[in-house]
Amino acid sequence: MPQEPSSPLTEKKTLIIGLGNILKGDDGIGVRVAEILSQRELPAGVAVEEVGTPGIDLMNRFEGWQKVILVDAVQMGAKPGTWRRFSPQDVRLIANGNVLSLHEPDLASVLELAQALNMLPDEIVIYGVEPQDLTFMAPLSSPVEAIINVIAEQILSEIWK
């Protein structure tokens, strides 16, 4: 069953969510990072889960958390393996125009809808990684593989600070 927030010993109850489809090469980056973090010690009030490709249901995972950290493949037009930490306000996310579909769960649209419905947590942070290969059954590409631990450590330092 999905994890629920535990007692709030830290500043903010924080949920780290790994997104992506592990069958589609670098699209699985969020899931891989979540797998690593789930093996590490986390502060009380912090949980991690991988949710695959939940589409609009991602919103339901926000309930009860003050901060949500999303890890996902993001096409930024950068070199594969490049990663950035940003908030939804920092950048304009374009995902399929102003529409909602589910196979491309359209993180931007889901966040916009959550905002319109007042369902966003206080803070959202997105760790985005530029993918190289998104074909079915491809392994993680070497530039993306090389960055997994870096992102995991970065998130750990963010939540332990």
Partner 1 sequence: MSKRIDVHHVTRVEGHGNIVVEVENGNLTTCRFEVVETPRFFEAMLLGRPYHEASHITSRICGICATGHATASLRATEKALGVTLSEQSWLLRKLTFHGEILDSHILHVYMLVAPDFLGVGSVIPLVNTHPEVVLRALRMKKLAGDICAAVTGRHTHPIAMTVGGFTHFPTTAELESLHKRLVESRKDLDATVELFSKLSWPEFERDTEYVSLSKPDEYAYIDGDIVTTDGVRVPPERYKEVTNEFLVPHSTAKFTRNKRESLMVGALARFNNNYDQLHPKAKEAATALGMKPKVTNTFLNSAAQVVEIVHSTEDAILIIEKLLERGIQAEEPAPVTRMPGEGVGVADVPRGLLIHHYQIGEDGRITGANCIIPTNQNINNLEHDMRVLVPQVMHKDQEAMRLDLEMLVRAYDPCISCSVHVLTIK
Residues in touch with partner 1 (CB under 8 A): 1-2, 19-24, 27, 51-57, 59-60, 72-77, 91-109, 112-113, 116-117, 128, 131, 134, 136-137
Smallest gap from Cβ 145 to partner 1, in A, equals: 17
Looking at beta carbons only, is 60 or 160 nearer to partner 1? Answer: 60
Euclidean distance between CA atoms 13 and 67, whole angstroms:
6
Smallest gap from Cβ 10 to partner 1, in A, equals: 25
Looking at beta carbons only, is 39 or 136 nearer to partner 1? Answer: 136
Distance set, CA 35 to CA 16, 41, 96 (Å): 11, 12, 29
Smallest gap from Cβ 139 to partner 1, in A, equals: 13
Residue 57: partners with Cβ closer than 8 Å, 6 or more residues away: none
Smallest gap from Cβ 107 to partner 1, in A, equals: 5
Smallest gap from Cβ 124 to partner 1, in A, equals: 13
Euclidean distance between CA atoms 67 and 39, whole angstroms:
21
Looking at beta carbons only, is 15 or 156 nearer to partner 1? Answer: 15
- For the chain, how many residues are written? 161
Question: Taking Cα atoms as reference points, which of 10, 18, 3, 5 lies closest to residue 127?
Answer: 18
Cβ burial of 92 (10 Å; 0-12, 13-18, 19+) is exposed
Please answer whether residues 155 and 37 qualify as being in contact, where contact means their C-beta atoms are separated by less than 8 angstroms. yes
Looking at beta carbons only, is 60 or 149 nearer to partner 1? Answer: 60
Looking at beta carbons only, is 45 or 128 nearer to partner 1? Answer: 128
